[in-house]
Structure 1
Amino acid sequence: MDHVLAAIDGSDNSMRALSFATEFAVNFDATLHAVHVSDAETGATEAVLDEAREVVADMAVDADLELLEVSEMPVRSAHAAAKELLTYAADEEIDHIVIGHHGAGRVERAILGSASETMVRGATVPVTVVP
């Protein structure tokens, strides 16, 4: 295993997923790709990346923390972000994906989609969902 992708959005769930992915990458001597999808780089985006840097700072892991900026994302939805992450995973030859799960209800999932559900259904590599 060479590359592990952790999808981050700044939520507690995604930071737990990042912690898990960091340990996973260390155990498998893999490069960690912590990726945040956004339609624009803002102060909030930098805050997400800064928090992610803190999570991986104490671990001996080769980590790339990235902003995947998508200017043509028509609606800020979990489904659209997950699709971008799946494209990134394919392009970067990711071997394993780790994503947090918010436990959204039916109504929220019907409106926004579930990033974790989209990732699990669309991925061609193993996906670990961290609650």
Structure 2
Amino acid sequence: MQTGVLLFLDISGGEFLVILLAVFLIFGPKKMPEIARKIGRVMNELKKASGDITKEFREETNVITREISSARESIRRETENIRKEMPDLASISTEDTSIYPEVIETQVKTEPIAEKSPDVEEKPKPLT
């Protein structure tokens, strides 16, 4: 378990020993147990906070994953419904225009509204 905390803080064993030696030299042997308890509590709180964050992250990603799966399933069902309707659409011929003769009759060629002005040149003169 101690190794997990050391990995969490990215401290190697040698670095941890140097820190312990520095604490021993600064505070002396009488305060070492008290300091060790405080360090233990802080490490425990950090580990708990890390676990809580990891748990919350997993829960949120699970919610998002379920929503994506639901959307994917909905799209799949709609795609299947469209595929079931496709044979009906394929039977309609686009070449058969007898269904809409009034549309063909209303297509009339139109003349331009305005004539071209004789003052306008076809190509503009180059700037020199």
Same fold (TM over 0.5): no
- Over alpha carbons, which structure has the higher Rg? 2
Whichever structure has more strand as a proportion of its residues is 1
State the TM-score, normalizing by the size of structure 1. 0.18
Which one has more relative contact order, counting CA pairs under 8 Å at least 6 apart? 1
